[in-house]
A and B are shown apart, each in its own frame.
Chain A
C-alpha cells in the first residue's frame, strides 16, 4: 500500500545546480500538491494540479516548475538552486475530503 512516494529523501545541492524531486501516487487521485516547510513553520503551497496536463501556482512558486503528464506523477523541478530553497518538501495527493502526504524530501542548498 504505497500511497504517496517521494524521492529522493535527502539531497544536498550546490548553489546554481538544478534537480527534480519525484512524486508518485497510486491512489488514482486527480489532485496533487507540492508544499515546502521551513524550520518552525507550517506548510506553504508551491504548485498544485487538478489533473493530468493541468497545473497552477500556489503561494510560493518562484524558483520552481512542475509538470503533470500522467495522473500518477507530479515532479517538482528546482532551477538554479538558492540557499532560500533549503527546506523540507512534501508532495501530497487527495480527493475532495482528504489529502495524503508523502514522507518528505529534505533539501539543503549550500
Chain B
C-alpha cells in the first residue's frame, strides 16, 4: 500500500519569508501524481499544486513551487513571499493514475503552517 509521510506537524514562517514543507511517499509505481492541498480554518480543501511523476520539470504556481525528487520519493512544497493568508494545514497527497483504487488520493497527516506578521 502506498503511504505518504509529512514529518513536520507544525511549521512557522515570518511574513514575506520563504518556507519549505516536506513530504515523502512510498510506492512501487512509476507513473503517478502528487498534490499539495491547502486547508484553511474553514476546512475547505484547496488544490495548491500538482506534479506528474513522468515530468522532470518541477511544477510552479505563482508563489508556490515544488522540489520533486523521484528517486528519493520526495515532494516538498516551497512557499515564497509568505502571506498571512497562507496560514493553514497543508496536505501532501499521492494518486495512482489507473488500476486498483481508481484514482483515489492517499493523504499525509498534514503540516500546520503559521505565518508570523
Q: Nearest Cβ in chain A — how far from B68, in angstroms?
A: 15
Q: Nearest Cβ in chain A — how far from B93, in angstroms?
A: 8
- Is A104 interfacial (CB 8 A cutoff)? yes
Tell me the residues in window 76-110 of chain A with beta carbons closer than 8 Å to chain B beta carbons. Answer: 88, 90, 92, 94-101, 103-104, 106
Counted as pairs of residues, one from A and one from B, with CB atoms less than 8 Å apart, the total is 57
- Is B28 interfacial (CB 8 A cutoff)? no
- Which stretch, B71-79, B80-88, B96-104, touches the partner chain A? B96-104
Total interface residues on B, using CB and 8 Å? 22
Total interface residues on A, using CB and 8 Å? 27
- Is A31 interfacial (CB 8 A cutoff)? yes
Q: Is the CB of B91 within 8 A of A56?
A: no
Interface residue SS majority, chain A: strand
Q: A41-B109, A43-B91, A97-B52 are in contact. Are A104 and B43 (CB under 8 A)?
A: yes
Closest to A42 in B: B107
Q: A97-B50, A97-B52, A98-B47 are in contact. Are A31 and B91 (CB under 8 A)?
A: no
Interface residue SS majority, chain B: loop
Q: Which of B50, B102, B107 contacts A98 (CB 8 A)?
A: B50
Q: How far is the CA of A95 from the CA of B102 in the complex (A)?
A: 10
Q: List 12 A-B contacts (CB under 8 A).
A: A33-B105, A42-B91, A48-B104, A56-B102, A88-B43, A90-B45, A95-B103, A97-B33, A98-B47, A98-B50, A101-B45, A103-B42
- The 5 residue pairs across chains A and B that have the minimum distance between CB atoms: A42-B107, A101-B45, A50-B102, A43-B107, A42-B109
